[in-house]
A and B are shown apart, each in its own frame.
Chain A
């Protein structure tokens, strides 16, 4: 039940490829029809193994994964794709259980939807994920915080001179925080800025992504020195 803020009528890239992984043939067909109506190019895969093969042959811009798959399941597929690419991944869960959602996000998904969803809603989510990686307001070309160096224009982050491999969503999350170091960002405002959700978005998206971000940019993720939790308020980047 995500209320969304659709940007219908905005210009979008032609030929943006979506890889839709779903074992139910009828769902796959219907979703493909609806997504093609929205202007996306859709590749289909009916199993995880299939999906990996297709992805290696023809990398997609967004991957849509149903968690319940025969053979290798959605979580495993997500981890495999993460090893290959930083492409945005949207998980489709059958249930609204915290367990499945958090597990999907931990496996590397950028966002999730619960069946049945409206394909228009999925399009809106994809659009939000594909937005330009650099926050428009960032005036800095290069942000340095202790051993952490962020170059928004190049989409690069380095810790102690060594480049860190972030997904697009993680990078955007870090850039939003770096936009105003020291300022506390609430979960709602991060949901809005990074995922395009309004007030009723799911705070777990932020929490899991922050956790994943920490494992990459922090020396000791259990005692974060850069991405700090402000109890009851949200997160901020330590200056």
Chain B
């Protein structure tokens, strides 16, 4: 997990806290704990096992060396009884017993049984101890690079018998033990990492589930809930998450219902206003001029009021998520022509590429007509001009699906880049805020355009006019289909 610092000043206390807490993810911490535990156990076991094994083996070897030396020393002793002048009889006796790693000090000279070990290989300390002090002794030394046990045994007449025992086999036995321990350790570590990863995933899974559910809720699926867990620890998480989601859903529903209820309640007085103003309008010619002006004002604001109520109701239905499209296959060109003809400006100019005539779109007639009406009204109110509508087929390389652009252009001041994402917000009135004409819209027109188009799997945005002239260019992008003309 990465953390970004605040660009200015010291990170806050909360940030520092969070940094400390989130440097390692939970999953990684569980894994690390498992791995550390496994390493510790493996090392402990290995060291103990190795220590025990090696001391055991060496001890055995030691004991058997001493026993062998003692036995062979007796043989030498026996063969030199007489006493012999030289150690030769002893060497012969040893040879007959197959002892080839011994040295005999006798009559002030060294005799070798076998050719492997020179007297020079004997450590002086041992020689001194055995020959001078006439005490049996043993010592570990290195001969030609390999460790040996050398055991010395004093014999009669100031002689001494030395025998070498290679520890080569012990060493190789121990090294194979070492190898086994390495392998076992590695296996333990691997298994524990796997177990750790599994455990970490198990432990983190409810968190991941919760994160996914939260994402779904944020995406608008308010009825998302977590499965209740059997584990009491995790059950608390699931339960409180579900409580939160339910509260949120309830709250949002209440808000949406409130907006919808308000609009409903406004319908009845509006109905009276609408019918009454009609009665007054039909007598407009009989009225004095001042009354006529007042009736006209009343009429235009009743219309505006009605639009506002209808738009509010519509948008509250979007918020409640109850909007369902009534899809039809529509001929793009014919449809847009019809939509313009029922809009507030039926003589709006429409231009289209030739190929557009064979395009169809899947759309909800009423809603898409509303989108076009709203854009025409927007051009009139905010663009200070008549709209011009063009149907275009975008040409992007590598575009697999067929698209249709319905473009509405005006000659107003345009929309500055920093406000382009704001114009589709509710009640956004741009830089011209405060300057409201009597024909002003509800402030929800473009927000409704965005909602309708989103529901049609399309996109809508605003940009500069392509022909270099001043004005805004609203583009609706809808998936379309090319049909063969009959």
- Residues in chain A within 8 A of chain B (CB atoms): 1, 3, 24, 26-27, 29-31, 33-34, 37, 94-96, 98, 115-120, 198-200, 202-204, 232
In the assembled complex, the CB of A105 is this many whole angstroms from the nearest CB of chain B, namely: 15
Contact A31 B267 (CB under 8 A): no
Contact B268 A37 (CB under 8 A): no
A118 to chain B: which residues have CB within 8 Å? 274, 278
Task: Give the complex CA separation of A232 and B328 in angstroms.
Answer: 8
A30 to chain B: which residues have CB within 8 Å? 271-276, 279
Stretch of B16-24, B197-205, B224-232, B365-373 with 4 or more beta carbons under 8 angstroms from chain A: B365-373
Contact B279 A34 (CB under 8 A): yes
Listed by A's residue number, 24 A-B pairs whose Cβ atoms lie within 8 Å are A24-B268, A24-B272, A27-B271, A27-B272, A27-B275, A33-B275, A33-B276, A34-B278, A94-B264, A94-B267, A95-B313, A96-B313, A115-B267, A116-B267, A116-B274, A116-B309, A117-B271, A119-B278, A198-B338, A198-B342, A199-B365, A200-B342, A200-B366, A204-B326
Contact A119 B274 (CB under 8 A): yes
A232 to chain B: which residues have CB within 8 Å? 329
Does B324 reach chain A (CB closer than 8 Å)?
yes
B366 to chain A: which residues have CB within 8 Å? 1, 200, 202
Contact A199 B338 (CB under 8 A): yes
Chain B's closest residue to A26 (CB) is B272
Chain B interface, >50% SS class: helix
- Residues in chain B within 8 A of chain A (CB atoms): 264, 267-276, 278-279, 282, 306, 309-310, 313, 324, 326, 328-329, 338, 342, 365-366, 369-370
Q: A-B pairs with the 6 shortest C-beta distances?
A: A30-B275, A3-B342, A116-B271, A116-B270, A34-B275, A115-B267
A200 to chain B: which residues have CB within 8 Å? 338, 342, 365-366, 369
B269 to chain A: which residues have CB within 8 Å? 26
Task: Give the complex CA separation of A8 and B275 in angstroms.
Answer: 18
Q: With A3-B342, A34-B279 as known contacts, state yes or no: A203 contacts B270, CB within 8 Å.
A: no
Task: Give the complex CA separation of A76 and B218 in angstroms.
Answer: 42
A29 to chain B: which residues have CB within 8 Å? 272
Contact B264 A95 (CB under 8 A): yes
Contact A33 B342 (CB under 8 A): no
A24 to chain B: which residues have CB within 8 Å? 268, 271-272
B268 to chain A: which residues have CB within 8 Å? 24, 27, 115
Q: Which of B269, B271, B306, B313 has the most chain A CB atoms closer than 10 A to its own CB? A: B271
B370 to chain A: which residues have CB within 8 Å? 1
A120 to chain B: which residues have CB within 8 Å? 278
B329 to chain A: which residues have CB within 8 Å? 232
In the assembled complex, the CB of B349 is this many whole angstroms from the nearest CB of chain A, namely: 20
Q: Beyond A1-B310, A96-B313: 16 further Cβ-contacts under 8 Å? A: A1-B370, A24-B268, A26-B269, A27-B275, A33-B275, A34-B276, A34-B279, A37-B279, A98-B324, A116-B271, A116-B273, A119-B275, A198-B342, A199-B365, A200-B342, A200-B366
In the assembled complex, the CB of B374 is this many whole angstroms from the nearest CB of chain A, namely: 12
In the assembled complex, the CB of B279 is this many whole angstroms from the nearest CB of chain A, namely: 5
Task: Give the complex CA separation of A28 and B269 in angstroms.
Answer: 11
A116 to chain B: which residues have CB within 8 Å? 267, 270-271, 273-274, 306, 309
In the assembled complex, the CB of A199 is this many whole angstroms from the nearest CB of chain B, namely: 4
Task: Give the complex CA separation of A33 and B275 in angstroms.
Answer: 8
Task: Give the complex CA separation of A117 and B306 in angstroms.
Answer: 10
B271 to chain A: which residues have CB within 8 Å? 24, 27, 30-31, 115-117
Task: Give the complex CA separation of A52 and B436 in angstroms.
Answer: 49
A33 to chain B: which residues have CB within 8 Å? 275-276, 279
Task: Give the complex CA separation of A228 and B207 in angstroms.
Answer: 55
Task: Give the complex CA separation of A51 and B329 in angstroms.
Answer: 42
In the assembled complex, the CB of B267 is this many whole angstroms from the nearest CB of chain A, namely: 4
In the assembled complex, the CB of A219 is this many whole angstroms from the nearest CB of chain B, namely: 31
Chain A's closest residue to B370 (CB) is A1
Task: Give the complex CA separation of A96 and B279 in angstroms.
Answer: 26
Task: Give the complex CA separation of A101 and B29 in angstroms.
Answer: 59
Task: Give the complex CA separation of A25 and B276 in angstroms.
Answer: 13
B328 to chain A: which residues have CB within 8 Å? 203
Task: Give the complex CA separation of A1 and B339 in angstroms.
Answer: 12
In the assembled complex, the CB of B377 is this many whole angstroms from the nearest CB of chain A, namely: 13
Q: Which of A94, A98, A120, A200 has the most chain B CB atoms closer than 10 A to its own CB? A: A200
Task: Give the complex CA separation of A95 and B274 in angstroms.
Answer: 17
A94 to chain B: which residues have CB within 8 Å? 264, 267
Contact A31 B275 (CB under 8 A): yes
In the assembled complex, the CB of A101 is this many whole angstroms from the nearest CB of chain B, namely: 11
Q: Which of A3, A26, A95, A116 has the most chain B CB atoms closer than 10 A to its own CB? A: A116
Task: Give the complex CA separation of A30 and B369 in angstroms.
Answer: 31
Chain B's closest residue to A25 (CB) is B272
Report which of A115, A119, A198 forms a contact with B270, defined as CB distance below 8 A.
Answer: A115
Chain B's closest residue to A33 (CB) is B279
Report which of A3, A119, A203 forms a contact with B326, defined as CB distance below 8 A.
Answer: A203
Chain A's closest residue to B329 (CB) is A232
Task: Give the complex CA separation of A34 and B273 in angstroms.
Answer: 11
Contact B282 A117 (CB under 8 A): no
In the assembled complex, the CB of A26 is this many whole angstroms from the nearest CB of chain B, namely: 5
Chain B's closest residue to A29 (CB) is B272
